[in-house]
Amino acid sequence: MNYNPQKIEKKWQRRWEEKNIYSRPFRRKEKKNFYHLVMFPYSSGDLHIGHWYNFAPADVYARFKRMKGFNVISPMGFDAFGLPAENAAIKHRIHPKTWTYKNINRMRKQLKTMGAIYDWSREVITSDPSYYKWTQWMFLQLYKNGLAYRANVPCNFCPSCKTVLANEQVIDNKCERCGTEVEQKKIEQWLFKITDYTDDLLNGLKKLDWPEKTKTMQKNWIGKSEGWTIKFQILNSKFQLEVFTTRIDTLFGCTYLVVAPEHPIFKKLKSKISNIGPIEDYLEKSKKKTDRERISEIGQKTGVQIKGLMALNPVNQEKIPIFVADYVLIHYGKGAIMAVPAHDQRDFDFAKKHNLSIIEVIHPKSIVKSSVKKAPLLVSSELEHSAYDGEGFLINSDRFNGMRSLDARKRIGEWLERQNKAKKDVYYRLRDWLISRQRYWGCPIPMIYCQKCGWVPVPEKELPVVLPRIKNFKPTKEGRSPLANSKTFVNTTCPKCKGPAKRETDTMDTFVCSSWYYLRYIDPRNDKQFASKKKIDDWLPVNMYIGGAEHTVLHLLYSRFFTKALNDLKYINFKEPFLGLYHQGTILGLDGQKMSKSKGNVVSPDLFVQKYGADAVRMYLCFIGPYDRGGPWNPSGILGICRFLDKVYTLVETVKTKSQEETENSQDAKEINKLLNKTIQKVGDDIENFQFNTAISCLMILVNELSKNVRNKYSDIQTLLLLLAPFAPHLTEELWQKMGFSNLKDFKSANSIHNQLWPKYNPKLFKQSKIQLIVQINGKVRDRIEVKSSISKQDAEKLVLSRDIANKWIKNREVKKIIFIPKKLINIVY
């Protein structure tokens, strides 16, 4: 290399920091604030190339916005509490706190080599008491407003991590972190009432400038189902069995009911059940099954008929049997379903297995006039093999025959509603957010239990409840938090009655900590409020948020919930935290696998930074492909970027030593000027759209052209450096100063290239006077002619037909048609 990247990078990083060039508001007058945010890293130890892929191109975007005149803040911090820290600490036999802060120091150092515009004075670390004081404060606000509550709920328990997990943290019935099979346990836990916001969370999505895919995934995760709850009378009893369905239009095809094994009907009507022995066997068996076993038995559709009980179908008074089967889940809907085997695959499988009748009530085509009362039970031969769950027209449905299924949903529902046998209902897949963790390394839950007063919140002025440094932080066998062993922590006085009381020993899920960190960055050292109202109004919501797609349903949903709750409590005046969102792709190992320590395919950026410099690594990451795609890390192309940067350096050096001769009017100068203007436009548009790879390729074209030209103007070089500045901040700063563009002896914030504005372009210059007209004969390219761009169809025709090439192909055949696309092509069809 012609220059030493390490030397100049260190030099400029030091000077930028000395002069604080990024923490000062830039262009105060403009007053256009732009909050640019990248998802803060987990303090896992080492930064890998995937982190850089998140942060470096994002920094290009932030720098570009800054040069466009926005007052950009781009903060950085660490997500520091949580299970992995603790598991790793246990493995390495050091305290989680020591381990975490050691990692943070290392990661901060690594991050600084990138040369990003992070304002380190805003750094937040979620495990600092000055931060978690406000996490606890948030908990108290939620608690006081009924959004945090305690309940004895069945939860996912990881026997290896010895803690409960949120539904979102269970993947394939395994613990997200350690991969151990989770167990179902009923424990008293703290939950956040995220379900109060289901509709808000759903409706808010519409206005967001987010990837459609992410919105759809959140929508599916919330899983809103609108339908009807229907009451089925149990014969010879006062009991009515309620079921929830989205397909009330299929009710005439309901041939039996099924209840979940946990359904209360067994207690209530035990005396009427004639086969209670086999039923209790079944209930016992399904209780013992893990969720995993239940899932692995999908398709088997086991179940037993509850003999002695029959239900009445409210539409036709048919007597239908009732079954218990564990394919029906207690926690969704009413824990009981109406089975329509013809139009639901699960019911179909069950009916086939247990030999139950199948009646077709929805036919894809309109085949039955409403006057025809009786059709064969099965019209469609396909129903021999599988259920039809689409829309269609009703048959076998008495007076509703011939009606569209969509209409019938409304009509049958309302008809039963008038008889008080059905009511409209909505269910969601989303369940409340379980935040208790029986682990040490987390934010303590600020609650106290008093024998007399019950659960009492810690008074706000006593916050934070400091996490004590204890020696034995390993989880206990019985699944109690390690904090329970610390008597000094546990024993306290009740804030209400001043009697003896005990602290909550569970800690919060780390996702609670990260659900509001973007608010703290704005005012990180404030110890009176989580952030001042004025600063919140100035900066929030976040304009652009960049991070991995793996956070689609966890972090992004929780953050939206926090924002909505804080908005309701009047602490903030916006309802969505992140207006813009972009997911970068995932960088994989060379083996095409996700990078992970256990696979040994983790790549550190450090070696590449040492060898080629941060500018080259930043740019190479931008160049390898579309930002949202990612792919295997293959460093073989990085030399191309190095050569490019070298070329830029050489180019600037040669221009510097040459005197500025008059070149204004030469043809070369005009062409260069045209290219320059085009490049300004293209690079700007591309960065705005996160198309960094094509932005770089047109910068390369520009540099190639400038390098061919012997007499370059200073102003052209100036523009080039400005366009390149977001990508290669160090080299461009070095060359900017070398060229003396700022004309100041001492380096000051104002004369940094990073405090200049993005160059403007003149679109008028793009107009080409001459173009290459493509000549097609029968749709195949046969010729190219240089013509005036304004050439008319007639002239183009004449010109083309006079040429030998055209005549060679057309010969004497009759020309049938001529298509002329101005400034592009002419196609002659014979």
Q: What is the footprint of RNA within residues 672-731 (CB under 7 A)?
A: 691, 693-694, 696-697, 700-701, 704, 708
Looking only at residues 100 through 129 of this chain, which bind RNA when binding is defined by CB under 7 A? none
When the beta carbons of 742 and 772 are compared against RNA, the nearer one is: 772
When the beta carbons of 466 and 819 are compared against RNA, the nearer one is: 819
Measured at the CA of 389, the angle between CA 383 and CA 390, to 5 degrees, comes to: 110
Looking only at residues 338 through 357 of this chain, which bind RNA when binding is defined by CB under 7 A? 338, 344, 346
When the beta carbons of 32 and 658 are compared against RNA, the nearer one is: 658
Please select the residue that binds RNA; options are 429, 452, 738, 770, rule is CB under 7 A. 429
When the beta carbons of 41 and 333 are compared against RNA, the nearer one is: 333
Looking only at residues 398 through 427 of this chain, which bind RNA when binding is defined by CB under 7 A? 427
SS (H, E, C) 333-385: CCCEEEECCCCCHHHHHHHHHHCCCCCCCEECCCCCCCCCCCCCCCCCHHHHC
Please select the residue that binds RNA; options are 468, 499, 631, 740, rule is CB under 7 A. 631
Q: For residues 477 and 98, what is the distance between their CA atoms, to the nearest angstrom?
A: 24
* Residue 592 Rama label (left phi>0; alpha psi -120 to 50; beta): left
When the beta carbons of 162 and 682 are compared against RNA, the nearer one is: 682
Q: Is-contact 492 462, C-beta < 8 A?
A: no
Strands (E), 606-757: 630-632
Tell me the closest approach of the beta carbon of residue 365 to RNA, in angstroms: 18
Looking only at residues 544 through 603 of this chain, which bind RNA when binding is defined by CB under 7 A? 549-550, 553, 594
Tell me the closest approach of the beta carbon of residue 490 to RNA, in angstroms: 36
When the beta carbons of 103 and 313 are compared against RNA, the nearer one is: 313
Tell me the closest approach of the beta carbon of residue 158 to RNA, in angstroms: 17
Please select the residue that binds RNA; options are 105, 145, 203, 220, rule is CB under 7 A. 220
Tell me the closest approach of the beta carbon of residue 29 to RNA, in angstroms: 35
User: 3-state class of 180 per DSSP?
Assistant: coil
* Residue 699 Rama label (left phi>0; alpha psi -120 to 50; beta): alpha
When the beta carbons of 223 and 376 are compared against RNA, the nearer one is: 223
Q: Return the range that interacts with RNA (CB under 7 A); candidates 5-13, 69-77, 220-228, 750-758.
A: 220-228
When the beta carbons of 269 and 698 are compared against RNA, the nearer one is: 698
* Per-residue contact string for residues 468-487; x = within reach of RNA by CB under 7 A: --------------------
644 binding RNA? (CB under 7 A): yes
Tell me the closest approach of the beta carbon of residue 624 to RNA, in angstroms: 4
Q: Return the range that interacts with RNA (CB under 7 A); candidates 405-413, 490-498, 664-672, 773-781.
A: 773-781
When the beta carbons of 439 and 583 are compared against RNA, the nearer one is: 583
Phi, psi of 530 (to 5 degrees): -65, -25
643 binding RNA? (CB under 7 A): yes
* Per-residue contact string for residues 734-763; x = within reach of RNA by CB under 7 A: ------------------------------
Residue 317 tokens read as 């008074």
636 binding RNA? (CB under 7 A): yes
When the beta carbons of 273 and 339 are compared against RNA, the nearer one is: 339
456 binding RNA? (CB under 7 A): no
When the beta carbons of 260 and 283 are compared against RNA, the nearer one is: 260
Q: What is the dihedral of CA 465, 471, 473, 478, to 10 degrees?
A: -110
Write the CA distances from 694 to 682, 686, 700, 730, integer angstroms: 9, 7, 10, 21
134 binding RNA? (CB under 7 A): no
Please select the residue that binds RNA; options are 129, 223, 264, 364, rule is CB under 7 A. 223
Q: For residues 387 and 382, what is the distance between their CA atoms, to the nearest angstrom?
A: 8
Please select the residue that binds RNA; options are 208, 276, 329, 799, rule is CB under 7 A. 329
612 binding RNA? (CB under 7 A): no
Write the CA distances from 224 to 198, 221, 247, 422, 720, integer angstroms: 8, 9, 14, 19, 52
Looking only at residues 775 through 794 of this chain, which bind RNA when binding is defined by CB under 7 A? 776, 778-782, 784
Q: What is the dihedral of CA 663, 669, 672, 677, to 10 degrees?
A: 90
Write the CA distances from 53 to 103, 214, 627, 633, 727, integer angstroms: 20, 20, 9, 10, 13
Looking only at residues 646 through 665 of this chain, which bind RNA when binding is defined by CB under 7 A? 646-647
Contacts of 782 by beta carbon, 8 Å cutoff, 6+ apart: 775, 776, 805, 806, 809
Q: Is-contact 268 236, C-beta < 8 A?
A: no
Looking only at residues 248 through 267 of this chain, which bind RNA when binding is defined by CB under 7 A? 260
Tell me the closest approach of the beta carbon of residue 314 to RNA, in angstroms: 16
Tell me the closest approach of the beta carbon of residue 739 to RNA, in angstroms: 21
Q: What is the dihedral of CA 540, 541, 546, 552, to 10 degrees?
A: 140
Write the CA distances from 389 to 246, 341, 342, 449, 763, integer angstroms: 11, 10, 8, 52, 56
When the beta carbons of 2 and 105 are compared against RNA, the nearer one is: 2
* Per-residue contact string for residues 170-209; x = within reach of RNA by CB under 7 A: -x--------------------------------------
364 binding RNA? (CB under 7 A): no
Q: Return the range that interacts with RNA (CB under 7 A); candidates 100-108, 238-246, 269-277, 607-615.
A: 238-246
213 binding RNA? (CB under 7 A): yes
Write the CA distances from 556 to 173, 218, 411, 550, 609, integer angstroms: 22, 9, 39, 10, 32
Q: Is-contact 815 798, C-beta < 8 A?
A: no
Please select the residue that binds RNA; options are 33, 246, 567, 749, rule is CB under 7 A. 246
Count, residues near RNA per rule CB under 7 A: 80
Report the DSSP beta bridge partners of residue 578.
Answer: 542
When the beta carbons of 69 and 626 are compared against RNA, the nearer one is: 626
When the beta carbons of 453 and 701 are compared against RNA, the nearer one is: 701
When the beta carbons of 419 and 768 are compared against RNA, the nearer one is: 768
Q: For residues 197 and 576, what is the distance between their CA atoms, to the nearest angstrom?
A: 12
335 binding RNA? (CB under 7 A): yes
SS (H, E, C) 759-823: CCCCHHHHCCCEEEEEEEECCEEEEEEEEECCCCHHHHHHHHHCCHHHHHHHCCCCCCEEEEECC
Write the CA distances from 601 to 91, 588, 591, 593, 594, integer angstroms: 21, 8, 8, 8, 8
Chain-centroid distance of CA 343 in Å reads 35
How, if at all, do strands 33-38 and 71-73 pair?
A: parallel
Tell me the closest approach of the beta carbon of residue 636 to RNA, in angstroms: 4
639 binding RNA? (CB under 7 A): yes
Q: For residues 326 and 293, what is the distance between their CA atoms, to the nearest angstrom?
A: 11
Please select the residue that binds RNA; options are 326, 504, 615, 734, rule is CB under 7 A. 326
Write the CA distances from 333 to 58, 309, 414, 580, 674, integer angstroms: 43, 22, 20, 35, 66
819 binding RNA? (CB under 7 A): yes
825 binding RNA? (CB under 7 A): yes
Q: Return the range that interacts with RNA (CB under 7 A); candidates 22-30, 216-224, 231-239, 444-452.
A: 216-224
294 binding RNA? (CB under 7 A): yes
* Residue 328 Rama label (left phi>0; alpha psi -120 to 50; beta): beta
Rounded CA Rg of the chain: 34
Q: For residues 477 and 63, what is the distance between their CA atoms, to the nearest angstrom?
A: 51
Write the CA distances from 749 to 6, 12, 25, 251, integer angstroms: 22, 12, 11, 74
Write the CA distances from 36 to 65, 147, 524, 546, 580, integer angstroms: 9, 30, 16, 8, 9
Q: Return the range that interacts with RNA (CB under 7 A); candidates 151-159, 334-342, 528-536, 667-675.
A: 334-342
Tell me the closest approach of the beta carbon of residue 410 to RNA, in angstroms: 15
Tell me the closest approach of the beta carbon of residue 337 to RNA, in angstroms: 5
